[in-house]
Structure 1
Amino acid sequence: MSTVIEQAVEARVVAAALIPTVSATLHYDQDDPFAVRMDFPAPATLEGADVSWAFGRDLLFAGLDDPTGEGDVRVRPYGYARTVLEFHAPEGMAVVHVRTGELRRFLKHTTALVPLGREYLHVDMDQGLAELMREA
């Protein structure tokens, strides 16, 4: 049985012109215990379609206190109360500010479900290996 945690957050997308606050959703599924997903509704995207970004839960934890990330997703603190998430894609970059307290509350719920360092206990290695072999 999969247990999923979702939390709505207030996100401010920073662009050339300030875009109003949008509702985004943080998503954590114990069946994919290393990942967090952040979903943005269509009105908040350039394409006018829902967009979802997946990245490591450990990246989000680390980025609350220190700048981290070298790839498509980067996270860094912004003052005391905000955290910046940068999403890099071939089409461009999105910079999103989220209240740090909301992120900490979400991460607290995820660690209650799957403690840090215990993610491997929730990964079905046999199923993952079978899927890889099927694709080969």
Structure 2
Amino acid sequence: MEKPNTRAASPDIVLYISEGIPQWQEGELRRINLSQWRVPDLVGEVGDTTLATDLDEKKQIYADLSIPEYWVIDVKGKRVLAFRLQADGKYQQCASSVTLAGLSISLLEQTLERLSEGTNISAAGWFAQAIASLSATG
């Protein structure tokens, strides 16, 4: 993901919602040129040894690129730090996702905890069931 002559980054997670999703032609490099395509709705970094960088330098890069929502997944700490870009161009930590219709960040953290206790499949199943019950009650 790059904005030529400005900044570039390679997030671990890139999420587009709705229209304006980058499309590539065969043989093209898989880069998102932000002068050609709109910014993603959400980007994320999975932090283990890079946590300090993800919360400092990368956070600033994504703010400079005007990414509306930024997540840092702290693997060791089993937590998700979610940030929403404010009008002043700075991120503020948030407890739920705006991009993913109010998804509680604590639900993601509970899923990380389940990953450490069981298998990926069991954690994914639990998460899917939790999302389904939210949809049914909301």
Q: Please, what TM-score do these two structures have when normalized by structure 2?
A: 0.28
Between the two structures, name the one with larger relative contact order (CA 8 Å, sep ≥ 6). 1
Q: Please, what TM-score do these two structures have when normalized by structure 1?
A: 0.28
